[in-house]
Amino acid sequence: MDAWPRTIVHADMDAFYAAIEQLDNPELRGRPVLVGPNSHRGVVLTASYEARPARVGSAMPMALARRRCPNAIVVEPRFARYREVSRIVMGVFANFSPDVEALSLDEAFLDMSGSSHLFGEPAALGRRLKAAVADATGGLTVSVGISGTKYVAKVASAHRKPDGLTIVSPDRAREWLAPQPVAVLWGAGPKLQGRLADLGLMTVAQIAVADPQWLVAAIGKTALHLQALSRAEDARSVEALRHPKSISSELTLETDVAAHEEIRRHLRRAADTVGRRLRKQAYTARGVRLKLKRSDFRILSRQTALSEPTQSAERLWQVAQGCLAQIDDRGPYRLIGLGAFDLAAAGGESQLDLLCTATERSAKLEAALDAIEDRFGPGAVQRAVGPRGRGPR
DNA sequence: TCTGGGGTCCTGATGCTT
DNA sequence: TCTGAAGCATCAGGACCC
């Protein structure tokens, strides 16, 4: 079929975390549910559809969400459970296509090009995929968008939520996008939307026909990317195997801190977490980045390139302390984070790293600590038994 | 209203090399 | 030997996404 040179599916689970809580606990069904930490600095991770008429949604401060929706039930997130259901959902997707690109726990792209003989035309394929997900999960719904590019498929899946199925034939994709607001363009967040509005550009159609030189002069090279999307041009393929470029851990503190000793303590926790993830996922890092968020929300960061790749928490911590020493600022800080970047598949570690890794912790203990942090949140082990990764010598 | 955590990508400034 | 330009890499910060 000429109109469908490629068939790309975007599948996005509806209010995933909240829907799982309602699935597991019948008392929550039909009631407004907010999933997120119930701390004074927490934000909503997911709001169930029953809560959304009260104008609450993801990333909203929990305190505000509770004011707007006082009858909502707040549920602490259970990421281990969400990962478990995610594996089931991804397994369903894998039954439909060998090319599945997971974007997060609750959404994925599937390349279904040339499989109409197996699953039928796009509408039939969409219905079968939705039914299979509901069947495998005990009733969770997924919104599906199908088109000829990743971008249009993604916009289509969000078009009719929840439990939607939107099919946009590639030959009318540009026409379908045209009347939509610029906010649907991937990469146009609140800041850029404001700048585009200042230029009188409110719809996708206006971006599509704007003079590219003028647009680049006005908003920079991002303009070319936006304009390609506005014309439904997106050649990216579905990539089943993607390697992470960085692994990080950060924590917003209950109260701001300024003392270096306390900052170092939090860095130790972050280094333990990042080191553990590096080892678990079999990567080494050649760079360490320290991140501090001041009370006024200004973010400071310092990074250091390593001469030797590492996956040792001890090494990450040492380097992060060096980064901390470079910062000429007294704080206080509300967030402390540590990231490892310039990742490579592990295998060529130095003898020193292997020694560090071997002596730091056994794999069994790692798994147990993982489970504890999953159950009780980041930093739970440190809160209970003190800084991790400094076992008896 | 008062703003999480884990990521990716882009941009401008700066410093190094040729 | 010195200097400036160009190209490139790195760094810090910002915006964005889920």
In this structure, is the CB of residue A222 within 7 Å of any atom belonging to strand B?
yes
Are the C-beta atoms of A180 and A230 separated by less than 8 Å? no
A318 touches strand B (CB under 7 A): no
CA of A342 to C1' of C9 (A): 14
A281 Cβ contacts chain B strand, under 7 Å: no
Backbone angles phi, psi at A292, to 5 degrees: -125, 135
DSSP letter for A251, please. E
Q: At what angle do helices A212-219 and A190-198 cross, to 10 degrees?
A: 120
Q: Which pLDDT tens digit goes with each residue over A44-75? A: 999 999 999 999 988 888 888 999 999 999 99
Q: Chain B positions under 7 Å from a protein CB?
A: 1-12
Contact criterion met (CB below 8 Å) for A64 and A10 = no
What are residue A59's phi and psi, to 5 degrees? 75, 5
All residue ranges of chain A with pLDDT < 70 are 1-2, 347-393
CA–C1' nearest nucleotide, residue A103: C18
CA of A393 to C1' of C17 (A): 44
Question: Active-site residue among A107, A314, A360, A373?
Answer: A107
How does DSSP classify residue A167? Answer: E
Q: Which residues sit close to strand C, CB under 7 Å?
A: A 59, 103-104, 106-107, 154, 185-193, 287, 289, 298-305, 326
pLDDT at position A152, please? 94
Q: Is A107 a catalytic residue?
A: yes
- Which nucleotide lies closest to A338 by the C1' atom and the CA atom? B6
Separation between the CA of A213 and the C1’ of B2 (whole angstroms):
38
Two tokens at A42? 């927490």
- Which pLDDT score is estimated for A347? 67
**Where are the alpha helices (H) located in chain A, listed in sequence order?**
16-24, 62-68, 79-96, 116-119, 122-137, 150-157, 173-177, 190-198, 204-209, 212-219, 222-230, 260-281, 313-326, 351-360, 363-376, 380-385
According to the model, what pLDDT value does residue A381 have?
A: 44
**Ranges of H-type helices in A295-343:** 313-326
At A106 the pLDDT is 92
Tokens of A53: 């008429």
User: Can you name the residues that pair with A291 across neighbouring β-strands?
Assistant: A301, A337
